[in-house]
Amino acid sequence: MTFEPIYQYFDTLFDVFDNQYSYLFTELYEESSYGYMFIISLAVPLILYLVFYYLLRLPYLTILHWLLVLFLVGLLTFGLEIAYLRDVLSEYLMSGDFEEADYTSDLVYFYSFLNVGFSIVFGIIFSFILKQWSKMYMHLPILKP
């Protein structure tokens, strides 16, 4: 399964794609980076909310604590995505061509923020799925359904 079309859609939506630097997108495609980015934005909320719903043993948590976990999901996703993309595109980030380096840097931040958005959406979806079987927090983030 390829995740490139999803990112392509947002590239177009936010007018990020630039023909001049199409080789950056090719590089990401050839390195399967779209897949890895997507997996990170999927895995981080899944892991954090698995821990929250099934391992945490604090009986008096509220929606504020749930939101704190969502914030951590975003923060961790952002950090991991930045680290990963900087690694994949390191050559271009350190390019002597400042315009290329700036564009690459902007692209790294764009994808990182985009993946933060994905991870937050996934965090919310996972919460509503995982809470069904949670004995401690089936009332979070909201009592219903």
Residue numbers of the site for another protein (CB under 8 A)?
Answer: 57, 59-60, 62, 135-139, 143
State which residue, 12 or 62, has the beta carbon closest to another protein. Answer: 62
CA distances in angstroms from 144 to 29, 53, 108, 119, 128, listed in the order given: 41, 16, 38, 22, 9
Residue 90: phi and psi, rounded to 5, are -60, -40
Angle between the N-to-C axes of helices 98-130 and 33-50, in degrees from 0 to 180, rounded to the nearest 10: 40
Compute the least distance from the CB of residue 16 to another protein, in Å.
43
Compute the least distance from the CB of residue 134 to another protein, in Å.
8
C-alpha to C-alpha distance for 75 and 113, rounded to whole angstroms: 10
Compute the least distance from the CB of residue 129 to another protein, in Å.
15
State which residue, 3 or 137, has the beta carbon closest to another protein. Answer: 137
State which residue, 101 or 136, has the beta carbon closest to another protein. Answer: 136
C-alpha to C-alpha distance for 7 and 79, rounded to whole angstroms: 19
Compute the least distance from the CB of residue 94 to another protein, in Å.
51
